[in-house]
Structure formats: structure tokens, C-alpha cells
């Protein structure tokens, strides 16, 4: 019997358990543990996401080939220190926590050489797992979404394959990424929107006229303010834990905002429209990759035609020049 232990029975932990019970086969035994006994009983009796509940962390991890830590990031060190003496030789430990550099550093300091730690960070196409409080677990929660994988130095190939198999069993897409790069990217696309949303709300809702203007706040206001729609303490913890990288993105955002202010103040409608067009195209490329691919193909075709029409003698160079230009764009140059 292959024992897999899940520590932390919130939305992510329960969904992992459900996915494993549904897809991993009868030879897999899912053991759960959570310091909140109510969550344990909900997982065992309501969601049926685990086969059993361990009475303590020692018995939770003894005999487990794979341990999944799905706690708040603030509990990472405490949990890793508590389970380290009881892990079986050759056991694999992974996590689902949203910051990777701190957790990987803790794993290096705490876990022995006989344990492989593979950092992980799952995403969902339907819910923001990093900030959601509660929610109904689902075996399909991770389907089609990226699952970042970052092995600690010294982690064995067998452990890495174990985590890849876990990710694919749950229907997610393994994404290998450098831990520091991961945390920087997350600061940009997840943490910066929270800070922007908080500043936006403070500026607008702090106005003496807010009571009157609030009746007009609908679609755009809702979209920009959504970043602070979750538990404030969770958001504050997240921003502070990744503060160094977040500050760099905040500086860049404030520079971009000042540039936009300059355009608006200068009254140059063409320049302003060009900036908004660039932003619109970047968003479209993110929101609908198929549209972005179609636009890219159209631009390639138009550029070829322009080259051929303007310089008939160089028509044979059209494709070469076009591809060279686009390759440079794709490399970011």
C-alpha cells in the first residue's frame, strides 16, 4: 500500500486528496492531518478527500512515500521541523505554498540528506488558490492549469518523477521554473494587483464625495478593486513575505503611472492612444492567445506585402526580413 500524506486540509489539500482518490487507484492510501480537528472531520466525513486522519504529525508521515504540505506559508518551518525526524528514508516532500525561495531555504536547513524536497505551487483556472478562504474542493480544481515545480538541490530523480506524476494525475501541467524567478513573477502578476487595488480604493473611496459617486461604481471599478476582496490579514502576510521583489515592481508601476500622467497632462491624444493601444494589445494577447496568434500572422503577412510592394527587386528577401523582425520581437529585442 502506497501511503500519501496531506498536511493542511483546506481547499487545496482536500482537492489534492479527492483527485488522488479518483485517479491514483486502490493501492494508494491518503492520510490527512490538520491542526484544526474540525477541518479534519470535514475532510474525512463530508468531502471524503482522505481515507484516514492521523492523530499527530509523527504518525501522519511515518511510512509515507510522499508528503504534501498545504499549510499557510507562515507554518512551513514549524511543520518541516516537526516531521523531519519521522520521515522514512527516501521519502519525498513537496508543498503547495505560493512563495518558493523561503520554503526551499527552510527545507535545506531542516530536512536531512535522505529526504528529497520538491517545491511546488499549483494554480487553478477557476479560483485564486493563494488568497481564497474556504470553497468547495474538487478533484478537477487543477485541471489544465500550471503547477510550478522547483526541486531543491540534491533532490533525487525518483522524487522529481513522483511529484510530476502527482501533478499529471491531478490534471495539471508541470511547469519547471527557477524559484527566484517564480517569486518575482508572482510579485508582478499576483501581489502588485493587490497593492494597486488598495491604493485605488484609498484614493477613490477616501474622497468626501464617495457616498455620492459610489452609486456609479460598477464594472471597471469592480475589476480594479477586486484585488482587496479577500481576507486582509492573508493579503498583508503575502505582500510582506515577498516585499523585496514586490517593491521593484511597485517602482516600475509608479514610473509607468507617472508616464501616463504626463501624457494626459500634455494633451497629446495620439501618444495617449498609442500607449492605450499597446496596453490593449498586451491584454488581448494574455486573455485570448488565439486572437494574439491571428494578429501576429496578420502582421507578418502585412509586413511581407509592404516589403514586396515597396521594393520589388527585394521581394525574395521579404520572408527573411519579416521572420527576422518577428524573431527579434519574440526575444524581446
Q: Residue 291 has what pLDDT? A: 62
CA distance linking residue 43 with residue 37, whole number of Å = 10
Q: Residue 292 has what pLDDT? A: 53
> If you count DSSP H runs as helices and E runs as strands, how many of each does the chain have, helices first?
15, 8
- Average pLDDT of 301-311? 48
* pLDDT tens readout for residues 117-167: 999 999 999 999 988 888 899 999 999 999 999 999 999 999 999 999 999
Query: What is the residue-averaged pLDDT of the chain?
Result: 89
Q: Is 206 helix (H, G, I), strand (E, B) or coil?
A: coil
CA distance linking residue 148 with residue 96, whole number of Å = 9
Q: Residue 133 has what pLDDT? A: 80
Does the global pTM surpass 0.85? no
What does residue 288 show for φ and ψ, rounded to 5 degrees? -145, 85
- Return the C-alpha cell found at 297: 500572422
**Domain(s) of CATH 3.40.50.720: residues in the chain:** 2-177
- Return the C-alpha cell found at 186: 508572482
- What is the CATH code for 182-285? 1.10.3660.10
* pLDDT tens readout for residues 104-119: 999 999 999 999 999 9
Q: Residue 234 has what pLDDT? A: 87
* pLDDT tens readout for residues 226-277: 999 998 998 998 899 999 999 999 999 999 999 999 999 999 999 999 999 9
Q: Which CATH superfamily is domain 2-177 in?
A: NAD(P)-binding Rossmann-like Domain (3.40.50.720)
- Return the C-alpha cell found at 201: 480604493
CA distance linking residue 60 with residue 69, whole number of Å = 12
Q: Residue 26 has what pLDDT? A: 84
Q: Residue 207 has what pLDDT? A: 95
Surface-to-core class of residue 233, CB atoms within 10 Å of its CB (0-12 exposed, 13-18 middle, 19+ buried): exposed
* pLDDT tens readout for residues 16-58: 999 999 987 788 999 999 999 999 999 999 999 999 999 999 9
The answer to whether 64 and 33 have CB atoms below 8 angstroms apart is no
- Average pLDDT of 75-92? 97
The answer to whether 64 and 41 have CB atoms below 8 angstroms apart is no
pLDDT band, very low/low/confident/very high, at 322 (cuts 50, 70, 90): very low
The answer for residues whose C-beta is within 8 angstroms of residue 4's C-beta and 6 or more apart is: 20, 24, 28, 29, 30, 31, 64, 65, 66, 67, 68
Identify the H or E element spanning 180. Answer: helix 179-186
CA distance linking residue 146 with residue 174, whole number of Å = 6
Report the DSSP pairing between strands 116-122 and 146-151.
Answer: antiparallel
Surface-to-core class of residue 187, CB atoms within 10 Å of its CB (0-12 exposed, 13-18 middle, 19+ buried): buried
Residue with cell 498536511: 7
- Return the C-alpha cell found at 77: 518551518
**Domain(s) of CATH 1.10.3660.10: residues in the chain:** 182-285
- Average pLDDT of 312-323? 37
| Sheet with 2-7, edge to edge strand ranges | 52-53, 28-33, 2-7, 64-69, 92-95, 116-122, 146-151, 173-176
Q: Per-residue pLDDT for 93 more than 90?
A: yes
Amino acid at each position: 500500500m502506497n501511503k500519501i500524506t496531506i498536511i493542511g486540509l483546506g481547499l487545496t489539500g482536500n482537492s489534492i486528496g479527492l483527485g488522488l482518490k479518483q485517479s491514483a487507484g486502490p493501492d494508494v492510501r491518503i492520510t490527512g492531518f490538520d491542526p484544526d480537528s474540525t477541518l479534519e472531520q470535514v475532510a474525512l466525513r463530508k468531502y471524503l478527500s482522505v481515507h484516514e486522519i492521523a492523530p499527530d504529525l509523527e504518525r501522519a508521515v511515518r511510512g509515507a512515500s510522499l508528503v504534501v504540505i498545504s499549510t499557510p506559508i507562515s507554518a512551513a518551518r514549524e511543520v518541516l521541523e516537526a516531521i523531519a525526524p519521522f520521515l522514512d528514508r527516501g521519502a519525498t516532500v513537496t508543498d503547495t505554498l505560493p512563495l518558493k525561495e523561503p520554503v526551499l531555504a527552510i527545507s535545506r536547513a531542516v530536512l536531512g540528506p535522505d529526504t528529497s524536497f520538491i517545491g511546488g505551487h499549483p494554480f487553478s483556472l477557476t479560483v485564486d488558490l493563494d488568497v481564497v478562504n474556504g470553497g468547495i474542493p474538487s478533484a478537477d480544481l487543477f485541471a489544465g492549469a500550471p503547477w510550478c515545480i522547483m526541486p531543491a538541490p540534491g533532490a533525487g530523480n525518483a522524487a522529481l518523477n513522483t511529484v510530476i506524476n502527482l501533478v499529471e494525475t491531478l490534471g495539471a501541467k508541470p511547469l519547471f521554473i527557477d524559484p527566484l524567478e517564480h517569486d518575482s513573477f508572482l510579485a508582478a502578476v499576483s501581489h502588485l494587483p493587490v497593492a494597486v487595488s488598495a491604493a485605488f480604493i484609498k484614493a477613490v473611496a477616501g474622497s468626501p464625495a464617495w457616498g455620492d459617486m459610489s452609486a456609479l461604481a460598477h464594472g471597471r471599478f469592480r475589476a480594479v478593486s477586486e484585488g482587496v476582496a479577500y481576507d486582509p490579514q492573508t493579503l498583508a502576510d503575502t505582500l510582506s513575505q515577498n516585499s523585496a521583489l514586490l517593491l521593484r515592481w511597485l517602482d516600475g508601476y509608479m514610473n509607468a503611472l507617472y508616464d501616463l500622467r504626463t501624457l494626459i497632462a500634455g494633451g497629446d491624444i495620439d501618444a495617449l492612444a498609442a500607449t492605450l493601444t499597446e496596453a490593449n494589445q498586451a491584454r488581448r494577447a494574455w486573455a485570448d492567445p488565439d486572437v494574439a496568434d491571428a494578429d501576429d500572422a496578420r502582421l507578418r503577412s502585412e509586413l511581407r506585402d509592404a516589403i514586396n510592394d515597396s521594393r520589388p527587386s527585394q521581394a525574395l528577401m521579404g520572408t527573411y526580413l519579416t521572420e527576422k523582425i518577428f524573431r527579434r520581437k519574440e526575444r524581446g529585442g
